[in-house]
Chain A
Amino acid sequence: MPIESGNRRRTPAEPLPVRRKTSYGSAGRASRALSFSVAVRQVFGSGFGTGFWLAAGWLLLVAACALFATVLPVRDPLDPVIVNRLNAPFTTNWLGADGLGRDMLSRLVHGARVSVVISLTAVSIGMLIGGSLGILAGYFRGRFERALMAVLDVILAFPWLVLLLALVAFIGQSLMAISLAIGLLWIPAYARVARANTLSVVQREYVLAARAMGASTLRILLREVLPNVILPVLAYGLVAMGLVVIVESALAFLGLSVEAPQPTWGGMIAEGKRHLAVAPHVALVPSITMFLTVLSLNYVGDRLRSRFEVKESNL
């Protein structure tokens, strides 16, 4: 711990490169629209490039499929049309049919629902519980922090798949139960991310200044700490969602995800395994879909995270 926070002149910021953003100018209210576009650029940045937007577009498509699965003009995902059995893509069905002759496209669209619901719920649970614990640990330090970190280390040291299997066996195989189980698994990771970010925010003098103003602890946590911790935590959430999609598919592969006949991507891959020699598309189509989704989540999450980091150093 530094005894003296420093009498030293801080490194004079030589412009290498100068990062000061151009100011709005004093035009004021006349250029609301302009300043809005500047604000958007400040939040999302200007230099994301096409890759980012392609990934974001794909994610939007998946989300839209999940949301409108029942109203989209696709066939019934549970309706077996035996004559179409194992038909290749672009024949009777756009993306082919599976071993029971069910439409792959329709199963993908409905499967997206499971993936999206599970990843959203699981990540939200992890973020809420883990994030709050992490912020509290980072702010109050001391015995609470040490105890919490010890517990989290124990959880992290446990083989996650075993833990997950135990949890699923215990709480069941419904959509919500699976989300909850995976969500609990995410608490330690979120607690760590939130704690690390809180530790660096708490050192900032604006927290001290708020205390000097007489702000209560709750107010400091909500106004000064939370807004500065939430963005990096949210960005981490996207990467976490990608991992959740994979975890769910692993469960499905073991036959422990949402019960059949409800389509899930993991379940489709597991089923496709049997037909790999004759009809590889049954496994490949959901695999590629999942690959693109996880890749997009990681890419978008990573870009957003680095954007926030740059912004931090910019301030």
Chain B
Amino acid sequence: MTDSQHQTQKLPLLRVEDLTVRLRGEAGIVHAVSDVSFQLQRGQTLGIVGESGSGKSVMARALMGLLPRRATQQLDGRVSLAVDGRVLELLKLSEREFRTLRGPRLAMVFQDPMTALNPVLTLGVQIAEPLQLHLGLNKAQAMARALELLAQVGIPDPEGRLRQYPHQLSGGMRQRVVIAIALACDPRVLLADEPTTALDVTVQRQVLDLLLALQRERQMGMVLITHDLGVVANRADHIAVMYAGRIVEYAPTSRLFSAMRHPYTEALFKSVPRLSDPSHTRLHAIPGRPPQLIDPAPGCAFAPRCPNVQQRCRRETPALTQAGDEHLHACFYPIGSREVGA
């Protein structure tokens, strides 16, 4: 027993190996996620950054076991979750086994707080439901816990809110409720898929700070998925940059920003308008557009838009390789160590 406990201490909380997802689309097979691997330790935050179509949301759904079964052509790789002193192979679980994990072990916060809540149920019922289901609390206990959760996510007048419906809340408040529901059963891993994209700037900051505070307090592992480098810049411990379904660079946050190796990471970084630039500064746009994920051409997916493209890039797909301590990149001709940002 102690031995296995010792084991789980060393084991990463969530370990993803060569996750590959192919979906059936109208126009063909979509190579949504290809060979994605990463690890998440307890109490750490992994930021996943990518543009639309980079496969980041599909990956999150795959981890949650929420891919539409009929549309899934292929789902390969290994996803191991270390909880309760054992290691679960998520992709091998049946739908019924998986259902017992969603909520108490794995939880997800979605982008649009309006559609994530049921409009005809009160907030109290929606928060209490998973508590009754997974933790076996009775109704009164569940409601008391719901009250506590609402207070924890910073909702003023939680007693009154319990009886309210989603439409009576503002967007920011709704997202706090969604977070409360996700945290209801004290999950070990929280997947947040663009949790603040639908919110206003001033509210976005509040919600991100709340997520991070709760994550630290509960020592959860958090995967924060976003299209905005700025959202993860100060919050994630590690950042994975995704492009066309693959992780193209992975590094501890500070290292990524100080010494980015992949041309896409750099181009993405440079194309973001900055407050520190003077007005009418020309932006560094990435030419072209993200590739189609149907029948991808051989070679590096970024090759057609890459400034340093070589012959080899169009023939072979670069694998994710070690470039230093915890720093990986998938590029044949990475940018030499270079100071960026100052």
Assembly CA distance A14 to B111 (angstroms):
12
Q: Which residues of chain A are within 8 angstroms of B197 by Cβ–Cβ distance?
A: 8-9, 12
CB-based contact B293/A18 at 8 Å: yes
CB-based contact A14/B56 at 8 Å: yes
Per-residue B-contact encoding for A4-34, CB less than 8 Å = 1, 0 else = 0001110111111111111000000000000
CB-based contact A12/B52 at 8 Å: yes
CB-based contact B71/A20 at 8 Å: no
Q: From known contacts A7-B200, A16-B58, infer whether A22 and B71 are also in contact, taking CB-CB under 8 Å.
A: no
CB-based contact B112/A18 at 8 Å: no
* Total A-B contacts with CB atoms under 8 angstroms apart: 65
Q: Which of A7, A8, A9, A18 contacts B53 (CB 8 A)?
A: A18
Q: Which residues of chain A are within 8 angstroms of B28 by Cβ–Cβ distance?
A: 22
For B56, the closest partner residue in chain A by CB is: A14
CB-based contact A15/B200 at 8 Å: no
Q: Which of A8, A16, A21, A310 contacts B198 (CB 8 A)?
A: A8
Assembly CA distance A314 to B27 (angstroms):
12
Chain A interface secondary structure, helix, strand, loop or mixed? loop
Q: From known contacts A8-B197, A20-B292, infer whether A14 and B25 are also in contact, taking CB-CB under 8 Å.
A: no
CB-based contact B27/A19 at 8 Å: yes
CB-based contact B57/A14 at 8 Å: yes
Decide yes or no whether B51 CB sits under 8 A from chain A.
yes
Interface residues of B in 26-73 (CB under 8 A from A): 26-28, 30, 32, 51-53, 55-58, 61, 68, 71
Decide yes or no whether B24 CB sits under 8 A from chain A.
yes
Decide yes or no whether B145 CB sits under 8 A from chain A.
no
Q: A12-B197, A14-B58 are in contact. List 8 more A-B contacts (CB 8 A).
A: A9-B198, A15-B53, A16-B23, A16-B68, A18-B30, A18-B53, A22-B27, A310-B26
Q: Interface residues, chain B, CB within 8 Å of chain A?
A: 23-28, 30, 32, 51-53, 55-58, 61, 68, 71, 111-112, 194, 197-200, 227, 292-294
Q: Interface residues, chain A, CB within 8 Å of chain B?
A: 7-9, 11-22, 310, 314
> Which 4 A-B residue pairs are closest in the complex by CB-CB distance?
A17-B25, A12-B52, A14-B57, A17-B23
Please name 22 pairs of A and B residues whose Cβ atoms are closer than 8 Å in the assembled complex, sorted by A.
A8-B198, A9-B197, A9-B198, A11-B111, A12-B52, A12-B53, A12-B194, A14-B52, A14-B55, A15-B23, A15-B25, A15-B32, A15-B53, A15-B55, A15-B293, A16-B58, A17-B23, A17-B24, A17-B30, A18-B53, A22-B28, A314-B26
